[in-house]
Amino acid sequence: MAQETWPGIVVRCTTSEDGTTPRSASSNSPDILISGTTPYEDPAFLEDPANYGQSYPNSLYIGLPNYLYVRGKNYTDATLEGNWNLFFAEPNILLYPYLWEQNQLATSAGDKNPPFTIEAGAIGASTDPFTWVPPNVSDHYCLVAVAATPDHGNPVSGVNNINSLAEVMSNNANIAQRNVQMIRGNVPQVVSQARYDQGSEGATVDLAVVFSNIPKGSSYTISSGTPLDGMALSHSDSNTQDNNFKYAWTDLEIPAQWVTMFNYTLTFGSDWSGIPPDAIPSVEIRGELVQEDGDPLYHLGVDATDPATGRTRMSSRGGPVRLVTVGSVKTIMPDVEPS
């Protein structure tokens, strides 16, 4: 499928985006920025092209005022006007709009729809930050940003099934998510969780866990107690042998309305060899829609490999299986250091 320049404002899923669609959906947007409990002194630096490759990660402080910004770029040849929108939700792997549309944030001036005017080729940002005191009902939250223009509003409004969510997130570049959970402190063990809600339509799905920059000799358990086809999902390893690896439950037939909570515990090992000094450990759990040749969203996917063997997965039709990432929650541990 040919790439097309998005005719609105692009809010990126990843720093590698170039303003075209379809794109690979991710839930770690570099264009949703948190400055912490104090606003940026001069947020105009977010509009500097020299800083466009930076995501400026920071912590979200529960129960305290936080300042948040949305950034976007106009890849068209015309000036575009519209409004920034920002929403929050508790951590969910699949962020259907009914989980967050009622949770719209406002700026320091009380505006839920701050306007923007962005010239052709330029970068814009919500320089009057969105202000939010996250309630103490969750350790972490997910954020959803939309750059709405007259021709392109909230593209997922009304979506409640996984196929439509995958298609809309791939084909619309004015919406992005940041589902990052920050674990602060040099802790020996991390405990976290993420909710999964299948929505109104059953589908074949991979549920994958991606480990990055993990010391060898670590141990982990990830599990969900809600039965799926009569069995709970659970996997453990008491002595990991790689720094970067993936585990996945593949080709799951998940029925409509299936809801569960994944809990994961990671205890760090002592062998940090092979991990660059500035690399940050992380664990990401994501939902990947399985597509075979002939399925409607096959063109949006990437070829799947078997997590155990690394070989290309082949479908019953004889062609490679492809995966479309629909959503994820990523836990990062920026303060963990070798003991």
pLDDT above 70 covers what percent of the chain?
99
Residue 2's contacts (CB-CB under 8 Å, 6 or more residues apart) are none
Last residue of a domain, one of 181, 197, 214: 181
Q: What is the CATH number of the domain that holds 147?
A: 2.60.40.10
- pTM: predicted TM-score of the whole model, two decimal places: 0.89
102-153 per-position pLDDT tens digit: 999 999 999 999 999 999 999 999 999 999 998 887 768 899 999 999 999 9
85, 146 contact by CB (below 8 A) = yes
Domain identity same for 220 and 77:
no
List the one residue out of 300, 252, 285 whose CA is nearest residue 25.
300
Structural domain boundaries enclosing 219: 189-332
Residues 147 and 22 in one domain: yes
Is residue 274 domain-shared with residue 151, that is, in the same domain? no
105 and 49 fall within a common domain: yes
Domain tally for the chain?
2
* pLDDT tens sequence across 37-75: 999 999 999 999 999 999 887 778 888 899 999 999 999
Residues 70 and 90 in one domain: yes
Last residue of a domain, one of 181, 198, 227: 181
Q: What would the pLDDT profile of 224-264 be if each residue is shown by its tens digit?
A: 999 999 999 999 999 999 999 999 999 999 999 999 999 99
CA angle 32, 40, 179 (to 5 degrees): 20
Residue 180 has pLDDT above 70, yes or no: no
Residue 159 shares a structural domain with residue 208 = no
pLDDT higher at 58 or 281? 281
Q: Which two tokens stand for residue 265?
A: 């515990």
Neighbours of 74 (CB within 10 A): 25
Tokens of 255: 């029925």
Query: Over 60: is that where the pLDDT of 1 sits?
Result: no
How is residue 208 written in tokens? Answer: 């994958």
Alpha carbons 215 and 320: distance in angstroms, whole number: 33
Residue 334: its pLDDT value, please?
85
